[in-house]
Amino acid sequence: MNKRYEALTAACERIRSSANRCWVRHVIDEAAENASFTIEVEKAAPAEQWDSLFVGSIGCLLAGGEYNANVVKFFAARGISY
């Protein structure tokens, strides 16, 4: 994928709470899928924009309000917020 995806995935694996780890992984996977779909299927953006689409998708997912404060803090600590 890309460096940010790999870094987030590695950091996710260090989360002690299995529930929070699962939710963070879900957000990462959903955002990666959305970024890839936008580029590969919809052809709505060039491949060079994958990272910005990925980060934007994480922000949109977090803005929905369905994730607990620990999940939101995980991403905020890494410069991703909504």
From first to last of its 82 residues, the chain has per-residue pLDDT tens of 699 999 999 999 999 999 999 999 999 999 999 999 999 999 999 999 999 999 999 999 999 999 999 999 999 999 999 8
Number of independent structural domains in the chain: 1
**Domain membership flag for residue 31:** yes
The per-residue pLDDT for 40 is 97
The per-residue pLDDT for 1 is 63
State the CB neighbour count (10 A cutoff) for residue 33: 12
**Domain membership flag for residue 39:** yes
The pTM score is 0.95
Which residue range(s) make up the domain with 27? 3-76
Is 17 strand, coil or helix? coil
Sign of CA dihedral 26, 50, 55, 14: positive
